[in-house]
Structure 1
Amino acid sequence: MNEDAQLKRNIGFWAALSTVIGTAIGGGVFFKTPVVTEVTGSSSLTLFSWLLGGLITIAAGLTTAELSAAIPETGGMVEYINHTYGKTPSFMLGWAEMVIYFPANISALSIIFSTQLIHLLGLDLKYLIPMALVVALSITLINLCGSKYGGGFQTFTTIFKLIPIALIIVFGLFSKNGGPVPLFPVKAGTDINFLTGLGHGLLATMFAYDGWIQVGNIAGELKNPKKDLPRAIIFGLLGITVIYLFINFVFLKSLPISSINGNENTAADAAKVIFGDFGGRLVTIGILISVYGAINGYTMTGLRIPYAMALDKTLPFSKQLSKLSKFGIPTAAALVQLFIAFIMVFLGDFNTLTDMLVFVIWIFYTMTFAATIILRKREPELKRPYKALLYPFTPIVAILGGIFIVVSTIFTQTSLALLGLGITLLGLPVYAYARKHNHISKDSD
């Protein structure tokens, strides 16, 4: 029976719109501005980087939505890659998500949560790593108690994540504190190459925009995917872009750019300027709840990646990784994810980890955008409830954006790119071993 026929089409436009916004907005919006301002050197190029990142994300979302509507299967991007390129590339995506994408998100956000908590409480930075480990562990323990608890906690934190954003934007825009924000001409700071600054800045913003790929996973359950899916993506991602532009404008208005550069406490410092010390602390607590919820979202989703791969017997120790606890949670898979995240907490910092995960995942994102064009030519008869708007312009914009992100990272952060590629390519011998050990056929590759 076709999987599309089994899906109940009961999701309307507003539910789809909230899904778009809820999956994309996380902790990155609060903590990437210090990086963007530092690498661009100017407020104009900072805001242009956020705008360009939003436009690329909109093009990417509209492009991927065509695949989501045509291939509405559990697994999302893994299934699109598998359908277009075969099992080995789809395994490599799953491997990259398992050993880089989700653990790096968990560890990076745990580090930034701990940094903010230390700043709020006035503690010594020596507690940073132990606190980050406890944060990651606590979220995993919540999820080990069952999806009911992990999902419930996610709903709670999703509501709270929008509160500090709304407060900072509304009060910050009308606050008399701060100074002017030069917007034109768009140029890099002193001694900074424009394209290099833009490449670094764009890479940083893409972490904040990340999460949009999950949008299309509900395509098979929309009442009217042809109409509602593109509208939800356009209005949702456009709304997120506007929110990000406004909140970054407020940061730049509230603090001198020299005080923002490299300052991981920018959001908290800006909140103090806008609301005063007590109000700033309350907003910071809201930010902490938002970040904690983002960690939960990545933990809850990520632990199911090694579990799904183990069910296909494409990993060593697949039997153990596919076992469920009495709460219906793949405990071994969750512990593997936590172990990798622990290693990353010790070895990396917030920006290194997030830059690496964005670089690696955008390789596969770009392959996904290209898959839209490939399948149009290879399988013209494939049922497409929704087709990418302004085709082929939209997928070309998404592909060019992806190529720019990947290539600029290779040239400007070569060691980071090589590390990400090296860890990803380690999946090939792992896959070969598992395929041989578990007697997996090569026919479908």
Structure 2
Amino acid sequence: MAKNSSQPKMKHELSLLDGTMLVSGSMIGSGIFIVSADITRNVGSAGWLIAIWIITGFMTLTAALSYGELSGMFPKAGGQYVYLKEAYNKLIAFLYGWSFFAVIQTGTIAAVGVAFSKFTAYLIPAFSEDNILFHIGFLKISAAQLMSIFIIVLLTYINTKGVKSGKIIQTTFTLTKLLSLFGLIIFGFIALKPEIWHANWSNAWDIHNLKADNTTVGLTLATAMGAIAASMVGSIFSSDAWNSVTFIAGEMKNPKRDVALSLGLGTLIVTIIYVSANVAYTGVLSMHDIATADKDRVAVAASHIIFGNLGTYIIAVMIMISTFGCNNGLILSGARVYYTMAKDGLFFKQTGELNKAGVPEFGLWIQAVVASILCLSGRYGDLLDMISFVVVIFYVLTIFGIYILRKKHPNAERPYKALGYPILPAIYIIMGLIFCVLLIIYKPQFTWPGFIIVLIGVPIYYISQRNVKKKDEALTDS
């Protein structure tokens, strides 16, 4: 017993404010400043641009409010992994944890790191992705990729020093970027140009592809559905990581109440900001200017109109703060999933151990290694496509798990119940499945690799279980 009592334990240091800032901060990274360019190229009109963000916001809020029930039932580290294990079995939970490690969390960390470098390069061109430093085989290593890796390693090191260090960074940086975004939105509406607003909204629901030369390509019903799905890759990525607070429930002061409240408050704040920011974009930039913004930096283009030359540098700094804080939240929360998996015998044993500061240090570092490799692997858009497909599949499975758990454990304690059950969760499931099917049809070159990564986890699971069984038999024999 003396040995067990001396083992490091997770520290309950996170408040409702910390949880809400973790949700908001992990969601607001780079997407809102960049992906509206690609959305506009796909759908071509102001109405559909805003509709994409509203649809995504509705899905995110619905999912977050549904997860509130699960977080109240299982207020411990691991979040979605735990919910899937309780609703289904260890195999489904492992496939999520494996995908989380291989592409969902690590890919998001890499994509946000690359975005940080993009905006650093706006201030310091030497860090541009066009500045190729050397080659490793067929890989071209740019200054932007090395900067991305540096940020990931730095934030990982900070988070190995304890959850308190991570939460200070998270709360400070999130409050800063929330204020900067509100400022961008308010001044955007003040600087609104009536002629641009009228031009953008006079034919707001004419869906079409918008080309760089300002020509348009009309869409049939089928291709329009594909364009909407392709557009939502960016908006879903921008709204992802809202569930990060569920991973660190074991470190919340009052997890049964505060995890659910953090989910609801955080996603609502971000949804309002995202929709408002895009409305502001359409008031100062033509649809062509949004679609052709230099390196997709829509927020920088809008800031140039709103604030003049100085404003573009200010917003670039604000976006660097945003992506830095976002990656801190992703890195902080991600390792808690591997920690819980290791406790179940489904991940490297060392990831189930805490350091003196009470955090899973080994899990943090192996997450950093994989994210760094993904930084070297390629482009921002490729990572978005792989992540969005895989993550929505597991969101659908998890939300369907609410129905399963209501049957399996009807009398379980539920401090909070899913809002609108059974209708709203069902709507999310239907919308999520439609999104995934359309993505398979219209973007198979990136969605299939993500699906294959999930399936690779099946043999890994059975091999790991066989090894565990052998060890148990050996212990029994001895």
Is the structural similarity TM-score above 0.5? yes
Aligned residue identity for 1:179:
I
Aligned to 1:45: 48
Cα distance, 1:73 vs. partner?
2.9
| SS of structure 2 residue aligned to 1:438 | helix
* Cα distance between partner residues in 1 of 2:327 and 2:174: 12
Aligned residue-pair number = 432
Cα distance, 1:70 vs. partner?
2.5
Aligned to 2:218: 191
* Cα distance between partner residues in 2 of 1:173 and 1:159: 21
| SS of structure 1 residue aligned to 2:201 | coil
* Cα distance between partner residues in 2 of 1:429 and 1:224: 35
Aligned to 2:196: 179
Is contact 2:304-2:311 (8 Å) kept?
A: yes
* Cα distance between partner residues in 1 of 2:171 and 2:48: 35
Larger mean CA deviation between 180-189 and 168-177 belongs to: 180-189
Aligned residue identity for 2:400:
A
Is contact 1:310-1:319 (8 Å) kept?
A: yes
Aligned to 1:241: 271
* Cα distance between partner residues in 2 of 1:131 and 1:232: 32
C-alpha spacing 1:151/1:182, structure 2 compared with 1 (3 Å): same
Larger mean CA deviation between 195-204 and 135-144 belongs to: 135-144
Aligned residue identity for 2:331:
T
Is contact 1:119-1:265 (8 Å) kept?
A: no
1:304-347 CA distances to partner (integer Å, 9 max, x unpaired)?
333332333223xx244445445554443333222211221122
Aligned to 2:330: 298
1:354 is aligned, of 365, 369, 384, to 384
C-alpha spacing 1:323/1:50, structure 2 compared with 1 (3 Å): same
Aligned residue identity for 2:108:
N
Aligned to 1:85: 88
* Cα distance between partner residues in 1 of 2:395 and 2:233: 14
* Cα distance between partner residues in 1 of 2:160 and 2:22: 24
Structure 1 unaligned segments of length 5 or more: list them: 1-6
1:110 is aligned, of 108, 113, 116, to 113
* Cα distance between partner residues in 1 of 2:262 and 2:90: 31
Does the alignment pair 1:61 with 2:76?
no
Paired residues for 1:43-442 under 5 Å: 43-123=46-126, 124=128, 125-126=130-131, 127-177=143-193, 179-180=196-197, 181-182=200-201, 185-189=204-208, 190-192=217-219, 193-214=223-244, 225=257, 236-261=266-291, 263-315=295-347, 318-439=348-469
Aligned residue identity for 1:387:
K
Aligned residue identity for 1:438:
V
| SS of structure 1 residue aligned to 2:176 | helix
- TM-score, normalised to structure 1's length? 0.87
Larger mean CA deviation between 290-299 and 261-270 belongs to: 261-270
What's the Cα RMSD here?
Answer: 3.1
Aligned to 1:3: none
Cα distance, 1:434 vs. partner?
1.8
* Cα distance between partner residues in 2 of 1:110 and 1:349: 11
Larger mean CA deviation between 143-152 and 272-281 belongs to: 143-152
1:395-420 CA distances to partner (integer Å, 9 max, x unpaired)?
11111121122112111111211111
Cα distance, 1:379 vs. partner?
2.7
* Cα distance between partner residues in 1 of 2:364 and 2:18: 29
| SS of structure 1 residue aligned to 2:218 | coil
C-alpha spacing 1:326/1:37, structure 2 compared with 1 (3 Å): same
* Cα distance between partner residues in 1 of 2:21 and 2:357: 29
Cα distance, 1:222 vs. partner?
5.7
Aligned residue identity for 1:44:
G
* Cα distance between partner residues in 1 of 2:404 and 2:203: 40
Aligned residue identity for 1:284:
A
Is contact 1:29-1:208 (8 Å) kept?
A: yes
Cα distance, 1:95 vs. partner?
0.9
C-alpha spacing 1:332/1:221, structure 2 compared with 1 (3 Å): closer
Aligned to 2:140: none
C-alpha spacing 1:253/1:120, structure 2 compared with 1 (3 Å): farther
Cα distance, 1:59 vs. partner?
1.6
Is contact 2:109-2:330 (8 Å) kept?
A: yes
| SS of structure 2 residue aligned to 1:179 | helix
Aligned to 1:27: 30
Cα distance, 1:380 vs. partner?
2.1
Is contact 2:111-2:380 (8 Å) kept?
A: yes
Cα distance, 1:183 vs. partner?
6.8
C-alpha spacing 1:210/1:72, structure 2 compared with 1 (3 Å): same
- TM-score, normalised to structure 2's length? 0.82
Cα distance, 1:169 vs. partner?
0.1
Is contact 1:11-1:223 (8 Å) kept?
A: no
Cα distance, 1:27 vs. partner?
2.7
Cα distance, 1:238 vs. partner?
3.8
* Cα distance between partner residues in 2 of 1:55 and 1:400: 13
Larger mean CA deviation between 182-191 and 197-206 belongs to: 182-191
Cα distance, 1:85 vs. partner?
0.4
Q: Percent identity?
A: 28
Larger mean CA deviation between 28-37 and 122-131 belongs to: 122-131
C-alpha spacing 1:213/1:304, structure 2 compared with 1 (3 Å): closer
C-alpha spacing 1:224/1:414, structure 2 compared with 1 (3 Å): closer
Is contact 2:25-2:326 (8 Å) kept?
A: no
* Cα distance between partner residues in 1 of 2:147 and 2:381: 18
* Cα distance between partner residues in 1 of 2:432 and 2:253: 28
Larger mean CA deviation between 362-371 and 184-193 belongs to: 184-193
| SS of structure 2 residue aligned to 1:186 | coil
Cα distance, 1:205 vs. partner?
0.8
C-alpha spacing 1:249/1:176, structure 2 compared with 1 (3 Å): closer
Is contact 2:95-2:458 (8 Å) kept?
A: yes
Cα distance, 1:86 vs. partner?
0.8
Aligned to 2:213: none
1:75-125 CA distances to partner (integer Å, 9 max, x unpaired)?
211111111101111111111111111111111111111111112223352
C-alpha spacing 1:139/1:71, structure 2 compared with 1 (3 Å): closer
C-alpha spacing 1:70/1:149, structure 2 compared with 1 (3 Å): closer
